[in-house]
Structure 1
Amino acid sequence: MALVDLGDLAPLRKALRGLLFPGQRELHFQRETPQRRKLILSRVVELEVRVDIYRADCRRSEEIARRICLTRLVDDLLDVDARRLVLDSRSGRDQHDIRTIRDVLGKRPRESGLLYEHFDSASDPLVWLADIAAWSYGAGGDWTRRVTPVIGSVIRLDWP
């Protein structure tokens, strides 16, 4: 999760779009070459953004692991009075996320004011930040070392 202040939205979007090749619509870190990944990651570090990583074992069920992570993420967003959550659309599986978010919001006694929506990753460059950080952190070794300045917290969530 990349948590971005309102005043930083436009400059960050502009900086991230500036990393695209001509004709490229989005940054999807897994598809980039190692050399390009290093360049992109160094530029993201220069932006001084913060990304928190929510981790759960998905070997038994990717959807359950995502639900556990998303539940904690939404709780954390409510705790800091966040106003908007943008998720990368997962073609046909967005309803799972919506159900999870509604469940969490229904448990909160106050009106949260949290808006949430799914976007195709080409629609908002800010969703690239979480992709870049998660890929780099998960790749281990030198990639984890390179992304460390961007990582705020790593929240490990276990389930029975």
Structure 2
Amino acid sequence: MAVQVKQYDPTGKPISREAVSLFQNDAKKRGAERARELRAAVNTLVMPGQRSLHMKAEGGARRKVIADAVVALAVDVWVLDASGGSGKEHERRARALTSLLEQVDVVQAHLVFDRDASMEPFDRRLLSAVPPHRRPTYVHHQRHEEPLLALPDVIAWSWARGGEWRRRLDPLAIRIVEV
């Protein structure tokens, strides 16, 4: 599972990291084979000279190509939205991650977080408090280290942008969970 923890304003600018969008890597279906296919597909979208995909760094026409290509991959998506209610960034992130842990099969889950150095210690503390039999394995990677991190980035950016961008995601099976 690749996990992107971010919230965008309607113009597409990141305003905080309080909503979680995640990609399920079809581990129960084809596991590593499906992940390899998806990584290869994402890598075809990376332009010469780019290390990774990131929607905020792309131009309008290119964003459409990327969003459409991600939709064509037919991934299952959950958006855990912690933007409602009160609380500081860490509290909202804790609600989102706690909800995530309640909803996935943690015995089989391996979470790959988009690295945010300011949040890594918080994630480690939160996850270390989970009983060992319920704690998933996890790592924090830069986008260029794990191409699958592009998927939740594209989905979160498109979802938050709304309008045409959100409609582009319509073919995907998206499950929204407000936390």
Bucket of the pairwise TM-score, normalised by the shorter protein: 0.7 to 0.9
Identity of aligned residues (%): 30
Q: Secondary structure at the match of 2:97?
A: helix
Q: Secondary structure at the match of 1:149?
A: coil
Residue type at the aligned position of 2:98: T
Residue aligning to 1:130: 152
Q: Is residue 99 from structure 1 mapped to residue 125 from structure 2 by the alignment? A: yes
Map 1:1-150 → 2, pairs under 5 A:
1-4=22-25, 5=27, 6=31, 7-57=33-83, 60-78=87-105, 81-103=107-129, 105-106=130-131, 111-112=133-134, 114-150=136-172
Cα-to-partner distance string for 1:28-57 (whole Å, 9 max, x where unaligned): 111211111110011111111122101112
Q: Secondary structure at the match of 1:2?
A: strand
Say how many residue pairs are matched.
Answer: 152
Structure number with the higher helix fraction is 1
Q: Distance in 1 between matches of 2:63 and 2:152?
A: 14
Residue type at the aligned position of 2:94: R
Which sections of structure 1, spanning at least 5 residues, go unmatched? none
Structure number with the higher strand fraction is 2
Contact residue 23 and residue 152 of structure 2 kept, 8 A = yes
Which sections of structure 2, spanning at least 5 residues, go unmatched? 1-21
Q: Distance in 2 between matches of 1:63 and 1:144?
A: 27
Q: Distance in 1 between matches of 2:87 and 2:69?
A: 36
Q: Distance in 1 between matches of 2:173 and 2:60?
A: 20
- CA displacement at 1:65 relative to structure 2: 0.9
- CA displacement at 1:61 relative to structure 2: 1.5
TM-score computed with the length of structure 1 as normaliser? 0.87
Q: Distance in 2 between matches of 1:149 and 1:57?
A: 24
TM-score computed with the length of structure 2 as normaliser? 0.78
Residue type at the aligned position of 2:53: L
